[in-house]
Structure 1
Amino acid sequence: MNRKTLFLISLLLSGCLGSFSQTPQQWRDSLAVLNKQISITPYSSDLYLRKAAVNIELQQWDYALDTYNEILKKDPTNLAALYYRAFVNGKMRRYDLSASDYEKMLTFAPTNIEARLGLAYTYIKRGKPTDALDQYGLIIEQHPDSAVAYASRACLEEEMQRYDIALYDWEKAVELQPSNNDYIYSKASLLVKMNRKKEARECLEELVRRGVATGEIHSMLMQCK
């Protein structure tokens, strides 16, 4: 999987958690407190969701999955539990189950961008790039100002060697979020593939002006000679 895809997946699947920086031991301590609260408190979906979030931080996928299952038994329309159960199933490579939860969530919240991006990702992992492109098209129709949507589609189009269309989407992503250096680097990388080295170098020189260390993009600069 290429650098750009990894970046976008990380943004989608970890950025949504909104977690605080803690050590593994601090997370385990938090989990112990939550388990104790759950044992002495009447059922609270909030407590269960917080516990499952800590399970995710500790990469305890089975425990997180069991917790989301428990929540959804009591409240089948709990959108947070549906979303994160889909996320956990994805981490466990159960992409069909992950897709099913994203689809359920979208029946209740059809314009939810995170769920639709997640569903597109499951299509990619199941070897259905055309279906993934359809999802990205829906996202862009619903959220025309989403730089992440354009960038995600650009990643897939580039992997499918649809370079002209991918370049359009990278340019849209940069237009919508001009401060994002990753998007500019990704655009430069594609321009190199297209043998448009002068334009690629201009992108890289812009990154240098922004303070990106030359060493970080040295190999790309050399390809632009």
Structure 2
Amino acid sequence: MPRRHRYLLALLLAVLVPVALGYLWRTPQPSVPELPPHSYAKALRQAHEGQPGAARVLYQQLQRDDLAPIRRAALYAELPNYPSPQALKLARLDLEHDDPMVRRAAIAAVRRLLPAAQRSLVLGPLLEDDEQSVRFAAVDALLGLDPDAIGLYFGPLQAALEQYQQTLEQQPEDAAAQVHLARLYMHEQAFDAAAQALARSLEVAPDNLDALATQVRLLEAQGQHDASRAVLAKALALRPDSAFLQHELGLWLSRHAQQEYALLALARAVELEPDNNDYRYTLALTLHELEQVDAAQKQLEAVLSREPANRRARVLLIQYWKETGQLQNVQVLLAELERQNPDDPYLQQGL
């Protein structure tokens, strides 16, 4: 063998032998147990359908750092049905996510997870976020809180609110934007500006039912109750089979202490749109106010049969069953809730 080759072979051995010995003598590291594998789609479906273990797999997905922003944001639409300290912790972490879409989704979740008195401490800093859409989402989440609840963030909220209004003012051809602008002005009791925004919305989209409903509330806020009902009556004359308008009529009658008549309108809304669980929930509340507890319970049972993850309906039905002493039914609902989310704060209350 030529001398040069012998030198190269010796050099190679000098490098490889210590590496091999180090590999053989190294201290074995304990293996890290992996979480049970759950696909994103399966976890999202499990949470949406309120299946057992839904909270656990939902939290696992939110702990991942490889999800696309749109997928991560979709998880937050389900999170408010599974409240817990862990849920709030995950949402708070994503308030600082790099993607604005995720931050907005986390804001919406925190808005439903926290009571009003605690919301501003968590969401207040986002009123000065670098992204305009995130600042505006924070405004929407904090609007309506009293000054004491807003606390130190009153100034930033007003500044962001003015920016929001200016931005929407520049979108006169967007009917939805003008309705939203009207609501922002109503919050400040700037009723003339709100009326102008609604007029622009209805000019662009005369059949915009959301604008009509907002117009009703604007007139009520100004004490024009007869005029507000006239707007509803005119709209209903043109669209008697509109579940939305029947529901709005029911809400108007409820606000004016006409519960018996409200019940008729709310029931009609459910008849026209039986799959709308929000309408059924409102109907259940009205039935309960009129001491028709059995009928109220049936409406909530119907909601849960369609949407087992609906925590709001589940908790209300538990309360109604407690009132009537149906503790066996209470236990069944609590057991289902525990299988969905064993850390749900409501479970600490027991029977």
TM-score by length of 1: 0.72
Q: Secondary structure at the match of 1:195?
A: coil
Query: SS at the partner of 1:21?
Result: helix
Larger radius of gyration: 2
Aligned to 2:198: 68
Alignment match, 2:208: 79
In 2, the alpha carbon distance for the partners of 1:55 and 1:149 equals 24
Distance 1:164 1:108, change over 3 A: same
Q: Does 1:105 align with 2:105?
A: no
- Give the Cα separation in 2 of the matches to 1:203 and 1:87: 37
Count of residue pairs the alignment pairs up: 196
Aligned equivalents of 1:212 and 1:182: distance in 2?
A: 16
2:166 aligns with one of 32, 35, 38: 32
Matched to 2:208, the amino acid is L
- In the alignment, the residues of structure 1 paired with residue 344 and residue 267 of structure 2 have an alpha-carbon distance, to the nearest angstrom, of 36
SS at match of 2:137: coil
- Asked if the contact 2:318/2:330 (under 8 Å) is kept, the reply is yes
Please, which runs of 5 or more residues in structure 1 have no aligned partner? 1-10, 12-18, 39-43
CA distance 1:56–1:129, shift in 2 (3 Å)? same
Identical columns (%): 15
The separation in 2 between residues aligned to 1:203 and 1:86, in whole angstroms, is 38
Query: Which residue of structure 2 lines up, in the alignment, with residue 3 of structure 1?
Result: none
CA contact (8 A) 2:242 2:272 kept: no
2-structure distance, mates of 1:77, 1:218: 50
Is the counterpart of residue 21 in structure 1 residue 137 in structure 2? yes
Encode CA deviations 1:3-52: one digit per residue, 9 max, x unaligned. Answer: xxxxxxxx9xxxxxxx96143433421322444x48xxxxx5x2576244
Task: Tell me which of 137, 156, 181 is aligned to 1:54.
Answer: 181
Per-residue displacement from partner, 1:197-225 (whole Å, max 9, x unpaired)? 12112212222221163533433x2xx2x
Structure with greater contact order relative to length (CA < 8 Å, sep ≥ 6): 2
Q: CA RMSD in A?
A: 3.1
Say if 1:95 and 1:125, in contact at 8 Å, map to a contact too. Answer: no
Residues 1:208 and 2:342 aligned together: no
CA contact (8 A) 1:96 1:122 kept: no
In the alignment, what sits opposite 1:6?
Answer: none
